[in-house]
Amino acid sequence: MGKIPQRMCIACRQMKDKRELVRCRVTPDGKVEVDPTGKKSGRGAYICRNAECVAKARKYNMLAKALNAEVGDELYDELENNG
C-alpha cells in the first residue's frame, strides 16, 4: 500500500492528500504563482481544490501571510479555475 504524502491546507488547516491540494510557490523574483506540478523550487503553500478554501484564503489574504509575499487577486482567480 503506497503512502500518499499529506500536506496542510493554509485555509482550513486540515491535512489532506497532496493530490487534493494545489501548491502555490514564491518565484525567485518574489511573486506567487500556482505550481501545478508541485515540484518547483521555492517556498510553497498548499490549498484545497475547493471554492470554500479559495474564498476564505482570498478574504483573509491567507496565502500572502503563509508565504510572506504579495498575492494578487489573479492568483485566487486562477485557483478558482483550477478547482
Distance CA 29, CA 69 (A): 10
Contact segment (CB under 5 A) with Zn ion among 3-11, 24-32, 60-68, 75-83 equals 3-11
**Residue from 7, 9, 62, 67 binding Zn ion (CB under 5 A):** 9
Based on the shown chain and the rule CB under 5 A, indicate whether residue 26 belongs to the binding site for Zn ion.
no
Based on the shown chain and the rule CB under 5 A, indicate whether residue 48 belongs to the binding site for Zn ion.
yes
Angle at 12 between CA 57 and CA 40, to 5 degrees: 65
Distance CA 55, CA 4 (A): 26
- The site for Zn ion (CB under 5 A) is made up of 9, 11-12, 48, 53
